[in-house]
Amino acid sequence: MKKIETKYLILGNSTAAISCVESIRSLDKEGSVSMVAAEKERAYSKPLISYLLCGSITPKQMYYRPRDFYENNRINALLGSEAMKIDAAHYMVTTATGEEITFERLLIATGGRPILPDIPGIRSEGVFTFFTWKDAENVRKFIQRRKVNHAVVVGGGLIGVKTLEALLKLGVKTDVVEKAPRILATILDDEAGRIVDKRLADDGVEIHCGTTVSKILAVDDLTYGVRLDNNREIECEMVVFAIGVRPDTRLAEEAGIKTGKGIIVSNRMETSFPGIYAAGDVTQSYDLTTGVARNIALFPSAYRQGKVAGINMAGGNMEYPGGIVMNSVSVCGLPIISVGDIQGEGMDTEIYSRLDEKSSIYKKVLVKNDRITGVLFVNQVDRVGIYTGMIKSGINVSEIRDMLLTEEFGVLTLPKEYRKYVISGVGIEI
């Protein structure tokens, strides 16, 4: 056993971990920082693996921070070492590579794990998840080696769609299997769904909705197709599962830290155990637009939470009021941005929308109690951020509701006080 003492210990080496370290260093230049990361690579950006797979970026572009990041920030980084146990009472973490690390402040930023269903054939060659750099590498090699012509992506959420985009770019014919009535079910509405379906059909992508894969068809452990629960069979050489990600709370649970839909944290990102913080995909957050506690597994939230945790760990004071679900995704080259709660249409919801079927342009804004709660833009997404900003700041739009989807809508249309805030820049005091 190798013993290490550190002031700050970070578990994980991705979005939340990196932004936490940067925040710690903004306040505390001296305190020792150690990091334990299961993956061997320097910090890279997970959302880029689909771009890497289809060759639109090089491996060099995967890195989220420059090579000298760890040195410049004086981080003792144990890369390729998995944390096995948190001993909260003794402020100690043990690793798979044999370190015993005692800390004063701990951040758990271990993210999530992809879900694999327990179905016959799931261990066959040709079945993948798409979650890490290594996954992307394995998928790429497999496509080359097996000369994959036909693939099935199971799950039509954000990650499934990104996988689809990459496979299409590689010239692999790809079907998508989705349990819900349409792909991207939580971030599209019926109208946007129709536009997307048409685009997919035009590009020859088959979507199998309302069903799921019940069996991987394989001979000698080599995949040759899938069977759906409606008994239909699809021939394919490769299957990628993207049916969801579960927060990786095991370490926290075993340590007696409270969990729900992720590790439960205060608005200072501190867990039920003082001195132990958590941030990113591993946490449960408050959804600002629906008021519900849930797991928000998105990059901007991970970054923000990491930042808030880091500031507080280093003795500062910062709060995280909650997050907003937001996605920017492209389906067969069709850009889509969906922010907030675009499903929650109740009696008290006002809906403003515009559809231009010929050019596949669709815009919709949902307003509840004079506040924007969701926006959904398809194929013309310029300046959507103006609405996102208003959602975040909870701006009263009663005076400008008629302007919301006009050509002139912009910064000039914003209520005066808020406009001043926007023009002066976020974080800049007026």
Partner 1 sequence: MGHIKARENYCLGCKLCEIHCLVAHSRSKKILKCFTNEKDEITSRILVEDTGHISFAVQCRHCTEAPCIESCISGAMHYEQKTGAVLCDTNRCVGCLMCVMVCPAGAVLRSRKGTVVSKCDLCLESGIPACVENCPNEALYYEED
Ligand X SMILES: Cc1cc2nc3c(=O)[nH]c(=O)nc-3n(C[C@H](O)[C@H](O)[C@H](O)COP(=O)(O)OP(=O)(O)OC[C@H]3O[C@@H](n4cnc5c(N)ncnc54)[C@H](O)[C@@H]3O)c2cc1C
Give 89's contacts (C-beta < 8 A, 6+ positions apart).
none
Contact status: 54 vs ligand X (CB under 6 A):
no
Contact status: 302 vs ligand X (CB under 6 A):
yes
Size of the site for ligand X (CB under 6 A): 36
Contact segment (CB under 6 A) with ligand X among 141-149, 156-164, 310-318, 386-394 equals: 156-164
Residues 164 and 154: their CA atoms lie apart, in Å, by 10
At position 302, the amino acid (one-letter code) is A
Nearer Cβ to partner 1 (55/260): 55
Instruction: Name the strand (E) or helix (H) holding 298.
Output: none
Residues 204 and 43: their CA atoms lie apart, in Å, by 36
CA within 13 Å, CB half, 331: 32
Q: Find the binder of ligand X among 39, 104, 125, 350 (CB under 6 A).
A: 39
Joined together, the tokens standing for residue 323 give 């997050």
DSSP output for 334-381: EEEEEEE-SS---TTEEEEEEEETTTTEEEEEEEETTEEEEEEEES--
Handedness of CA 210, 116, 164, 170 (dihedral sign): negative
Query: Are 213 and 152 in contact, with CB atoms under 8 Å apart?
Result: yes
Contact status: 262 vs ligand X (CB under 6 A):
no
Q: Which of ligand X, partner 1, none does residue 63 bind to, with CB < 5 to 8 Å depending on kind?
A: partner 1
Contact status: 189 vs ligand X (CB under 6 A):
no
Contact status: 23 vs ligand X (CB under 6 A):
no
Q: Which of partner 1, ligand X, none does residue 16 bind to, with CB < 5 to 8 Å depending on kind?
A: ligand X
For the bound state, the minimum distance from the C-beta of residue 428 to partner 1, rounded and expressed in Å, comes to 5
Q: Find the binder of ligand X among 6, 13, 249, 285 (CB under 6 A).
A: 13
Residues 293 and 284: their CA atoms lie apart, in Å, by 6
Q: Which of partner 1, ligand X, none does residue 412 bind to, with CB < 5 to 8 Å depending on kind?
A: partner 1
For the bound state, the minimum distance from the C-beta of residue 336 to ligand X, rounded and expressed in Å, comes to 11
Residues 37 and 43: their CA atoms lie apart, in Å, by 9
Contact segment (CB under 6 A) with ligand X among 41-49, 148-156, 233-241, 366-374 equals: 41-49
For the bound state, the minimum distance from the C-beta of residue 47 to ligand X, rounded and expressed in Å, comes to 3
Contact status: 284 vs ligand X (CB under 6 A):
no
Residues 347 and 361: their CA atoms lie apart, in Å, by 26
Contact segment (CB under 6 A) with ligand X among 67-75, 199-207, 299-307, 337-345 equals: 299-307
Contact status: 78 vs ligand X (CB under 6 A):
no
For the bound state, the minimum distance from the C-beta of residue 219 to partner 1, rounded and expressed in Å, comes to 39
CA-only gyration radius of the chain, Å: 23
Contact status: 100 vs ligand X (CB under 6 A):
no
Binding pattern to ligand X, positions 324-363, x when CB under 6 A?
----------------------------------------
Query: Are 277 and 312 in contact, with CB atoms under 8 Å apart?
Result: yes
The torsion region of residue 85 among left (phi > 0), alpha (psi -120 to 50) and beta comes to: beta
Q: What is the dihedral of CA 397, 400, 403, 408, to 10 degrees?
A: -110
Nearer Cβ to partner 1 (19/34): 19
Integer CA distances (angstroms), 139 to 56, 132, 241, 342, in order: 15, 11, 12, 33
| Site for partner 1, rule CB under 8 A | 19, 45, 47-48, 51, 56-57, 61, 63-65, 299-300, 303-304, 307, 326, 328, 335, 337, 339, 381-386, 388-390, 392-393, 408, 410-413, 422-428
Contact segment (CB under 6 A) with ligand X among 62-70, 115-123, 207-215, 275-283 equals: 275-283
Joined together, the tokens standing for residue 252 give 């926290």
Contact status: 34 vs ligand X (CB under 6 A):
no
Contact status: 15 vs ligand X (CB under 6 A):
yes
The footprint of ligand X (CB under 6 A) covers 11-17, 36-39, 46-47, 49-50, 82-83, 109-112, 130-131, 158-159, 162, 248, 251, 280-282, 297-300, 302
